[in-house]
Amino acid sequence: MPYGAAMTSQPHVVPPPSGGRRLRWHDLPGPQRAAVEERLGGVVVHEHSATTGFSPGLASALVTAQGTRAFVKAARETDEAESARLHRTEARVTAALDPGLPVPRLLWTHDDADWVVVAYEAVDGHTPTTPWEPAELTTVLDTVAQLGAVDATSLGLPDAATDVGALFTGWEHLRDDPDPSLADVAPWAVDRLDELAGLAGRAAAACAGDALVHGDLRADNLLVTDDGVVVVDWPWAMRGAAFFDLVAFLPSVGMQGVRGRTEPLTGPADLGHRRAVGAELDALFRSSPSAAGVDDAQVLPVVAGITAYFLDSGRRPPVPSIPRLRAFQRAQGAAGAAWLEVLLDDAR
Residue 319: strand, helix, or coil:
strand
Which of the listed residues 96, 120, 144 is the one where a domain comes to its end?
Answer: 120
CA atoms of 283 and 295, how far apart (whole Å): 14
- Distances from the Cα of 328 to the Cα of 104, 129, 314, 321, angstroms: 25, 17, 7, 15
Shared-domain flag, residues 150 and 64: no
Q: How confident is the model at residue 166 (pLDDT cuts 50, 70, 90)?
A: confident
CB-CB contact of 47 with 312 (8 Å): no
Shared-domain flag, residues 116 and 150: no
Residues 6 or more apart whose CB falls under 8 angstroms from that of 108 comprise: 39, 118, 119
Shared-domain flag, residues 143 and 290: yes
What beta strand segments (E) does the chain contain?
44-49, 58-64, 69-76, 106-111, 115-120, 211-213, 222-225, 228-231, 238-240
Cα torsion through 327, 191, 291, 262, rounded to 10: -50
Shared-domain flag, residues 111 and 158: no
Is 12 a domain residue?
Answer: no
Is 129 a domain residue?
Answer: no
Shared-domain flag, residues 68 and 216: no
Which of the listed residues 120, 147, 164 is the one where a domain comes to its end?
Answer: 120
Residue 53's pLDDT is: 87
Is 159 a domain residue?
Answer: yes
Residue 51's pLDDT is: 87
Shared-domain flag, residues 208 and 311: yes
Backbone angles phi, psi at 67, to 5 degrees: 95, 5
Q: 341, 82, 338, 59: which is closest to 223 by C-alpha?
A: 59
Cα torsion through 127, 217, 308, 240, rounded to 10: 170
**Considering its fold, how many domains does the chain have in total?**
2
Is 50 a domain residue?
Answer: yes
Residue 2's pLDDT is: 37
Q: Looking at the chain, list the stretches that DSSP marks H as alpha helix, in order from N- to C-terminal side.
A: 30-40, 81-96, 134-148, 160-163, 170-176, 182-185, 193-200, 203-206, 244-256, 271-286, 296-314, 325-347
CB-CB contact of 31 with 50 (8 Å): no
CA atoms of 44 and 64, how far apart (whole Å): 4
Which residue range forms the structural domain that includes residue 196? 134-347
CA atoms of 149 and 98, how far apart (whole Å): 13
pLDDT digits (tens, 9 = 90+) for 264-276: 999 999 999 999 9
**CATH code of the domain covering residue 193:** 3.90.1200
Q: How confident is the model at residue 10 (pLDDT cuts 50, 70, 90)?
A: low
The three state secondary structure string of 122-143 is CCCCECCCCCECHHHHHHHHHH
Shared-domain flag, residues 153 and 283: yes
Is 7 a domain residue?
Answer: no
To 5 degrees, how large is the angle CA 90–CA 245–CA 144?
90
pLDDT digits (tens, 9 = 90+) for 309-345: 999 999 999 988 889 999 999 999 999 999 999 999 9
Shared-domain flag, residues 115 and 172: no
321 membership: H or E segment, kind and range: none
Shared-domain flag, residues 215 and 339: yes
Tell me the β-bridge partners of 19.
none
CA atoms of 225 and 125, how far apart (whole Å): 4
Shared-domain flag, residues 116 and 139: no
The larger pLDDT score, comparing residue 117 to residue 18, is at 117
pLDDT, mean of residues 133-150: 97
Shared-domain flag, residues 169 and 264: yes
Is 2 a domain residue?
Answer: no
Is 78 a domain residue?
Answer: yes
Greatest distance between any 2 Cα atoms in the chain = 64
Shared-domain flag, residues 76 and 138: no
Is 19 a domain residue?
Answer: no
Q: Say whether pLDDT at 3 is over 80.
A: no
